[in-house]
Amino acid sequence: MKRCIVLGKPNVGKTLLVLRLADYMKVKDVDITFQDPGGAKYSRKYPMDIAVRELVGALPHQTKCLQSVSIEFRAGKGKKTVELMDTTGLIEQIHDDPLTRKAMAQTLSALRGAQIIIHIIDAHLAGHEDAVSDPTERDLDMQLAAFAGPRGGYCIVANKMDLPGAKRGLARIRRLFTGYKVLPVSAATGEGLKEVRRHVLRNL
């Protein structure tokens, strides 16, 4: 089974994208496996709308551990299962809370074992940041792209395309991350999910 990891800064819409993608792939009840940083595992089945209501929120670090969903993709005549892994958001500084730090270590650890990498960047935010001062070497997204890009199966998802200013953000992301595949998506409206699906399918 191939593993597909979804990662990025906090509050860029990782969990919503995972759920919407599952929805798009005709998963009715999402069976989510939560994997504690400590090693404990448990799973819970949610109807889609409840999953969105319970797991997605406006505050950063809503996702506290690895949450994975298995999705079946039709590949040729057969079926292939992909483990879609939703992760805790990565920040630039050292986080105060040891549990969140553990969860971030878990994210990076999972990244090393993933064959498909979806790196989400908030296009809405990128459109509103001061475009004159470009991010430095220290920027998390730059570092993440440099690390994960050469590993194969990598793409950047410019999320929140439904919000104002996101077009400008997308252009900026395309400029900063030339050479990488950038897909404009709105997890909220479902726009662009087709391309994400195709990206996963292509790397199976």
Partner 1 sequence: MPAFERRNPNLVLVGLEEGRLSPVEAIQALRTSSDSHTKKREIETESLASSEWRLNEALTELDSLIGLTAVKALVRELVAYIRIQRIREMRQLASEALVLHMVFSGNPGTGKTTCARLMGKLFREMGVLEKGHLVERERADLVGEYIGHTAQKTRDQIKKALGGILFIDEAYSLATGGEKDFGKESISTLIKAMEDNKDRFIVILAGYREEMAKFIQSNPGIRSRFPIHIEFPDYTVEELMLIADLMLKKRDYRLDLAARARLEAHLSRNLGSNSEHSGNARLVRNIIERAIRRQALRLVDRKQLTREELMLIRREDIEGNHEAVHRFG
Q: Which residues bind partner 1 (CB under 8 A)?
A: 38-39, 90-95, 98, 101-102, 104-105, 108-109, 112-113, 138-140, 143-144, 146-147
Residue among 114 and 123 whose Cβ is closer to partner 1: 114
Secondary structure in 3-state letters for 15-76? HHHHHHHHHHCCCCEEEEEEECCCCCEEEEEEEHHHHHHHHCCCCCCCCCCEEEEEEEEEEC
CB of 183 to partner 1, least distance (A): 22
CB of 139 to partner 1, least distance (A): 8
Please say which residue, 83 or 185, places its beta carbon nearer to partner 1.
83
Tokens of 188: 């909220």
- Whichever of 95 and 197 has its CB closer to partner 1, that residue is 95
Each residue of 17-51: b (16+ CB within 10 Å) or e? bbbbbbbebebeebebebbebeeeeeeeebeeeeb
Minimum separation from the CB atom of position 136 to partner 1 (A): 10
Alpha-carbon span 97 to 103, nearest angstrom? 10
Contact 91, 10 (CB under 8 A): yes
Q: How far is the CB of 40 from partner 1 (least distance, A)?
A: 11
Question: Which residue's CB is nearer to partner 1, number 62 or number 143?
Answer: 143
Q: Which is nearer to partner 1, 52 or 108 (CB)?
A: 108
**Shortest CB 162 distance to partner 1, Å:** 28
